[in-house]
Structure 1
Amino acid sequence: MEMKLSNIEKHHLLPRGMYFNKKSYEDVPLLSFEEARSSLPKPIYEQRPDYLECYWKAWEIAYRNLHVPTEESGFVSNFIDAAFNQDVFLWDTVFITMFCNLANPYIPGIRSLDNFYCKQFDDGEIPREMVRETGKDFLPWVNYDRMPLHSYFHNHYGHRKLFQTAKPAFEEMFQPNLGRTVGVPPYLTLDNLNHPIMAWAELESFKHTGDVARLELVYEPNLRYYDALKYHLQNHFGLYVTDWASMDNNPRNRYLGSGVDISCEMVLLARNLIDIAKVLIDHCVSRGDNEQAAIYASQIEELEEEASQLTETINRMMWNDEVGFYFDVQDSGEQTSVKTIAAFWSLLAGVATKEQAEKLAHWLNDPATFNRVHRVPVCAADEEGYDPRGGYWRGSVWAPTNTMVIRGLENYGYDDLAREIALNHLNNVVQVFKDTDTIWENYPPDSIDSGNADKTDFVGWSGIAPILYLIEHAIGIKGDARSNELIWQLTPGQGTIGCDRYWFAGKTLNLLATPQGDGSYRIVVSSDAPITLKVKLDNNEVVHEIMGSFEFII
């Protein structure tokens, strides 16, 4: 007698990963921290030994969270895990890759995303949470009965249930929220379809590695993911729906709605795909593949039109000119009034005009809202429900959202403010590390301690501050593999600083800046391959082509 499969069993048998051209496990052996340490970048900061202690502690914790996938999981690459629970998370993994880029050959950072691409469905959906050992989707987020789009979180998530009164659009189905008919229901619930930011992570990695082959590998999965979210999540306003979007208990959630974060992230994804396609066009032309180059060019044209249209809609419906801020939009089409960090995705996505960016930067400098003792809280301090002790997503400071804000500010030329926020976060993380001997998942905005956070040794995304911010913002070193250029921004009064074994674009450099007593620095640098070095100090800028050892004064 033929056995009848349940819907859950049928779901587990669905074909996956058809757009990702890596079908089985392949990777290099994992290194332990002790084995890798002599190859990892070695920062030098004579005045701040506490920076260095926290830096090495962060790497040590990160190496505890490396995994070779089980055969059962079907994962195809070694990976680093957030160590949040027994699952792997897309959102967490994206941000972990950003500090792992600095040690790309020695740790499975960006390759960790392979295990999400290889689980992509035929319609392009990619789950944001999977069980680490089995590779199966986190079951509550699976739409195994193929109902119209809906949110499990708002219906069943116990102590995190957010609504004081009934909200039929959430308590029943999300599809009425769309205001349009979707013929084929999604494989996943809305809880599992948010934060399309993998292409951003891929471009961050590419800037550091110059690995065009990886862009070729990940372009189609990200394009199909874009199409899936456009089909399932875009509503009749032309915006994108969300429920809690990884901001579990944020005060905004009771009004969602169309999310300013997911809507801006879709613009970001479109523009990331455009940037990747442009790189791939050059690569195709160089090898004489004009046919594929023409396909990419056609996709660019379509993506540019859609990004432009969505940008116009966001600015028309979500920007409040009187307040000078972006807000989520309720089902009625009215804006909410809750100021959250979600608005700053508009900077990263290039949605904001120059004038709008200036107003957003003003909010980041406002002590009554986002410029707290520890920057930047995820909810403005003057909002009802703000928790000065953190309260998870009611006010905490998180490395991922800070990184989004910093990169967004850099897009608009607010480099000084970006660095100020990065150093504030770095200094506070390091101080709390000195006080508690650990690195926390999140931090309170109004005091320099661990607040009411409960997850320790969280590296995890919290490695961003002691690793990435230290090298890129405190020491001031940032490589750009696309132009084969290393930029070193020095700051007067730092003392002796530098970095040995700085790796990018397949090159390894040693860099040392020693103050000379007259405000100048002696720069000693060595590189094992040709590189353009640009050093900046105050209003001075010196550019040298480096191969081997070289020294100069600036």
Structure 2
Amino acid sequence: MKIFNLIILILLSLFASNVNAQKTPFNKDLIPQPVFEEKPELVDLYWKAWELAYNHIREQEGIFQSPYMDEALWDDTIWIWDTEFMVLFCKYAPELFPGIESLNNFYESILNSKSSSLKIQHPDNPPFFAWVESDYYNFTNDKSHLITLIKENQFLQRHYDWFESLKPGMKLHFNHAGILLEKKEKGYKWGGIQSGMDNTPRGRKKQHQILWVDALAQQALSALYISRLAELIKDKKTALLFKKEYTKKRKLLNKYYWDKTDGFYYDILETDTSFVKVRTPASYWVMLAEVPDKAQAKKLLEYANDPMEFGGKYPWPTVSRRDKDFNDKYGDYWKGSIWVPTAYMATKALEKYGFYDVADKNAYNLLLLMSETYQTYQPATIWECYNPSKPEPSQRVYGSNLEVVRPDFCGWSALAPISMFIENVLGFHYVNAQTKTVEWRKYRKGTYGIKNLRFGDVRTDIMAYNTHIEVVSNAEYILKINNVKHKIKEGIQHIKL
């Protein structure tokens, strides 16, 4: 009888755990609803991305934040930069997708030494929490979160300092892969895998002798946004401190990493600061951090627009098409494949300097590549990365063997079908809940727009019927259409362009 009761208890326990693991049903009413009559297949891809991302919401015991966003690889492991990028599409549906909350699994484990059943694969992954937190804040206007983040827990400042203190071979209190980051006088040593660009040709055969341009740029980016967020909550001391940190790193980037001859930011050798000339989108982290002046930015724009570099029909390959290691046939992971996260980052970098035409064109071409792959390649899904020469997923080269990259990777590959579609194709490139503003680059004809866009307390539909605009809103806000302000009132409003 005791054994029978024990079995019953175990079965009830298993049943209860399964019940607890059930998620709220996928509800499209909580998600923005795009309309794009010109290419409705991009709307289909949009919903596929949300569906796949929803399937990668995980619940697990023994972690600080559950549910959390999973990167679509291993259930017992999380990656810093995957999760950071996922926040940038979760912002559009925060009631369904725990994007910003998922960052707590890093903050608490790394900075507060809390135990977790999740493994943080690379503690020295790219550190751009502050940029992501700022972007998310634009959608929420939640100052209480910023106060907790910066004043009370000081997570962003502490992570910045912690990243600065890392040494190769350090062992932390949780399971992780090897750390290679090391701060030097003029930048940081790092590794391809730790940087996220696993088999990148950067550094050629001297990869462990170079100072990585993106590591320095990402810390500059963090300092810039920590300062800005601190200003928002009137923490003047923190704002001033990180302005100084930003200025130091900006000067280093322009003094040592900028090649005037080529007009590009390169990795450098630590020994003599000579340039290691492998052009990749990693250099656009410098642009995102607002380091270049206008003349330098125009040079970077030229590379972004050049079909033999990062532009063309299949934009943002992860190494220049002119590079000797560029793999045009298969992509071979980070030797030329098109990865959505670096494409998204570089797109936002171009926008910082007002280069919307090229940013939007490249984004549109990337979405066409993903959509055509979705329609013609089986299985019909969204992939980890894409072939740089045809509508197919990339293949990883292992000697004489080939391996197709991972399917259903939403994960960060949802960034293009969701965020780039809304921001760069439909044109709603900037939303700010604090100022109650939506900026719309309306450069297309026909019927298109977005319904159920949410920011702060505002819920709005914005639709274009050629030159006639119809807006429905539950609250007042400012809609800028091609830089012209329109005061939107509660209810239905019509605008004739």
TM-score (norm 2): 0.85
Q: What is the CA–CA distance in structure 2 between the aligned matches of 1:468 and 1:30, rounded to whole Å?
A: 24
Residue type of the partner of 1:440?
A: W
Change beyond 3 A, Cα 1:277–1:46:
same
Q: State whether structure 2 residue 218 is matched by structure 1 residue 265.
A: yes
Change beyond 3 A, Cα 1:214–1:488:
same
Matches within 5 A, 1:411-430: 411-430=352-371
Q: Deviations over 1:60-114 (max 9, x none)?
A: 11111112231x2x22342111112231111111111111111122221211111
Residue type of the partner of 1:228?
A: W
What displacement does 1:137 show?
4.3
Q: State whether structure 2 residue 58 is matched by structure 1 residue 75.
A: no
Q: What is the CA–CA distance in structure 1 between the aligned matches of 2:367 and 2:287, rounded to whole Å?
A: 22
Q: Which residue of 2 aligns with 1:169?
A: none
Q: What is the CA–CA distance in structure 2 between the aligned matches of 1:379 and 1:279, rounded to whole Å?
A: 38
Q: Which residue of 1 aligns with 2:98?
A: 108
Q: State whether structure 2 residue 246 is matched by structure 1 residue 307.
A: yes
Query: What is the DSSP-based 3-state SS (H/G/I as helix, E as strand, rest coil) of the residue aligned with 1:119?
Result: helix
Between the aligned residues of both structures, percent identity stands at 29
What displacement does 1:341 show?
1.4
Q: Which residue of 2 aligns with 1:93?
A: 83
Q: Which residue of 1 aligns with 2:490?
A: 547
Q: Which residue of 2 aligns with 1:65?
A: 56
What displacement does 1:231 show?
2.8
Q: State whether structure 2 residue 187 is matched by structure 1 residue 239.
A: yes
Change beyond 3 A, Cα 1:192–1:280:
same
Matches within 5 A, 1:56-455: 56-70=47-61, 72=62, 74-86=63-75, 87-121=77-111, 134-138=117-121, 191-219=122-150, 220-232=154-166, 235-244=183-192, 245-253=195-203, 254-256=205-207, 257-281=210-234, 296-332=235-271, 333-388=273-328, 389-436=330-377, 437-452=380-395, 453-455=404-406
- Is the Cα contact below 8 Å between 2:79 and 2:120 reproduced in 1? no
Q: State whether structure 2 residue 465 is matched by structure 1 residue 514.
A: yes
What displacement does 1:542 show?
4.8
- Is the Cα contact below 8 Å between 2:473 and 2:488 reproduced in 1? no
Q: Deviations over 1:406-432 (max 9, x none)?
A: 111111111111111111111211111
Query: What is the DSSP-based 3-state SS (H/G/I as helix, E as strand, rest coil) of the residue aligned with 2:125?
Result: coil
Q: Which residue of 2 aligns with 1:472?
A: 423
Q: What is the CA–CA distance in structure 2 between the aligned matches of 1:439 and 1:305, rounded to whole Å?
A: 42
What displacement does 1:400 show?
0.7
Q: Deviations over 1:347-402 (max 9, x none)?
A: 00111121111111111122222224311011111112111121100001111101
- Is the Cα contact below 8 Å between 1:526 and 1:548 reproduced in 2? yes
- Is the Cα contact below 8 Å between 2:333 and 2:394 reproduced in 1? no
Q: What is the CA–CA distance in structure 2 between the aligned matches of 1:482 and 1:347, rounded to whole Å?
A: 25
Change beyond 3 A, Cα 1:350–1:75:
same
- Is the Cα contact below 8 Å between 2:312 and 2:362 reproduced in 1? no
Query: What is the DSSP-based 3-state SS (H/G/I as helix, E as strand, rest coil) of the residue aligned with 1:525?
Result: strand
Q: State whether structure 2 residue 484 is matched by structure 1 residue 535.
A: no
Counterpart pick for 2:472 among 505, 509, 526: 526
Q: What is the CA–CA distance in structure 2 between the aligned matches of 1:66 and 1:194, rounded to whole Å?
A: 21
What displacement does 1:234 show?
5.8
Residue type of the partner of 1:412?
A: Y
- Is the Cα contact below 8 Å between 2:65 and 2:101 reproduced in 1? no
Q: What is the CA–CA distance in structure 2 between the aligned matches of 1:77 and 1:297, rounded to whole Å?
A: 34
Q: Which residue of 2 aligns with 1:20?
A: none
Residue type of the partner of 1:109?
A: G
- Is the Cα contact below 8 Å between 1:209 and 1:504 reproduced in 2? yes
Q: RMSD across aligned C-alpha pairs, in angstroms?
A: 2.1
Q: State whether structure 2 residue 31 is matched by structure 1 residue 31.
A: no
- Is the Cα contact below 8 Å between 2:218 and 2:285 reproduced in 1? yes
Residue type of the partner of 1:426?
A: L
TM-score (norm 1): 0.76
Could you tell me which runs of 5 or more consecutive residues in structure 1 were left unpaired when the two chains were aligned: 1-26, 139-190, 282-295, 516-520
Q: What is the CA–CA distance in structure 2 between the aligned matches of 1:326 and 1:531, rounded to whole Å?
A: 40
Q: What is the CA–CA distance in structure 2 between the aligned matches of 1:92 and 1:434, rounded to whole Å?
A: 26
What displacement does 1:241 show?
1.9
Q: State whether structure 2 residue 39 is matched by structure 1 residue 48.
A: yes
What displacement does 1:236 show?
4.0
Q: What is the CA–CA distance in structure 2 between the aligned matches of 1:137 and 1:102, rounded to whole Å?
A: 26
Query: What is the DSSP-based 3-state SS (H/G/I as helix, E as strand, rest coil) of the residue aligned with 2:324?
Result: coil
What displacement does 1:512 show?
1.7
Matches within 5 A, 1:13-24: none
Query: What is the DSSP-based 3-state SS (H/G/I as helix, E as strand, rest coil) of the residue aligned with 2:188?
Result: coil
Q: What is the CA–CA distance in structure 1 between the aligned matches of 2:371 and 2:411, rounded to whole Å?
A: 16
What displacement does 1:535 show?
2.0
Q: What is the CA–CA distance in structure 1 between the aligned matches of 2:111 and 2:484, rounded to whole Å?
A: 50
- Is the Cα contact below 8 Å between 1:373 and 1:448 reproduced in 2? no
Q: What is the CA–CA distance in structure 2 between the aligned matches of 1:512 and 1:136, rounded to whole Å?
A: 44
Q: What is the CA–CA distance in structure 2 between the aligned matches of 1:194 and 1:365, rounded to whole Å?
A: 29
What displacement does 1:301 show?
1.9
Q: What is the CA–CA distance in structure 2 between the aligned matches of 1:240 and 1:78, rounded to whole Å?
A: 34
Residue type of the partner of 2:74?
A: N
Residue type of the partner of 1:449?
A: E
- Is the Cα contact below 8 Å between 2:470 and 2:494 reproduced in 1? yes
Q: Which residue of 1 aligns with 2:8?
A: none
Q: What is the CA–CA distance in structure 2 between the aligned matches of 1:329 and 1:456, rounded to whole Å?
A: 35
Q: What is the CA–CA distance in structure 1 between the aligned matches of 2:71 and 2:85, rounded to whole Å?
A: 10
Query: What is the DSSP-based 3-state SS (H/G/I as helix, E as strand, rest coil) of the residue aligned with 2:474?
Result: strand
Equivalenced residues, count: 442
Query: What is the DSSP-based 3-state SS (H/G/I as helix, E as strand, rest coil) of the residue aligned with 2:30?
Result: coil
Q: State whether structure 2 residue 421 is matched by structure 1 residue 490.
A: no
What displacement does 1:338 show?
1.3
Residue type of the partner of 1:224?
A: R
What displacement does 1:29 show?
8.5
Change beyond 3 A, Cα 1:234–1:248:
closer
Q: Which residue of 2 aligns with 1:160?
A: none
Query: What is the DSSP-based 3-state SS (H/G/I as helix, E as strand, rest coil) of the residue aligned with 2:464?
Result: strand
Change beyond 3 A, Cα 1:28–1:199:
farther
Query: What is the DSSP-based 3-state SS (H/G/I as helix, E as strand, rest coil) of the residue aligned with 1:490?
Result: coil
Change beyond 3 A, Cα 1:373–1:446:
farther
